[in-house]
Amino acid sequence: MSCYHLSRLLFDLKMNESRVKQAQTDFEGVMSEYDLTGEEKAALRAGDPRKLRQLGVHGMLCLYIKRLHPEFRDNIYWNQK
């Protein structure tokens, strides 16, 4: 089964800074704007890239869930593409 919408959310966390800011304060609201299954939402809430990869997302997109983790918020990686 396609995980297009899940991938799209993570792509937006890479490319759309306003989406990132919104997700940092209202992630449930952001998730509601994508066509996600319950399992996908649970994996996103867990914040573990390995779980997202198991759902079929490209591994390098999975890492972008870490943008929402306080420990990784200022990671230099987000300042390049």
Partner 1 sequence: MPLVSALAASHAPNILLEPGAEWEDFMNLHYSMAPQGSATRPTLEQQKKLRKDAEAAFAVLRADMEQAKPDVLIVVANDQFVNFFCNNVPTFFVTLADEVKGQFTRHKFQYRNHKELGRAILRKGMKQGIDFSFGEHIELQHTQVVPLYFLLPEAKIPILPIYVNTWVDPAPTPGRCYKVGELIREVADDSKERVAILATGGLSHFPGSPRIGEIDTQFDHQLLEVMRQGKGRSLVDTSVEDLLKAGDSEFLNWMVVVGSVGDAKAAYTSYMPDLVATGWGFVSWKL
Residues that bind partner 1 (CB under 8 A): 4, 7-8, 11, 14-15, 49-50, 53, 58-63, 66, 72, 75-77, 79-81
**Among residues 21 and 50, whose Cβ is nearest to partner 1?**
50
Q: What is d(CA 15, CA 55) in angstroms, rounded to the nearest whole number?
A: 21
- For residue 51, the SS3 value is helix
**Among residues 29 and 59, whose Cβ is nearest to partner 1?**
59
**Which uninterrupted H or E stretch holds 44?**
helix 38-46
Report the nearest approach of partner 1 to the CB of residue 5 (Å): 10
User: Which residues fall within 8 angstroms of residue 41, CB to CB, at 6 or more apart?
Assistant: 31
Q: What is d(CA 53, CA 50) in angstroms, rounded to the nearest whole number?
A: 5
Report the nearest approach of partner 1 to the CB of residue 77 (Å): 5
**Among residues 10 and 30, whose Cβ is nearest to partner 1?**
10
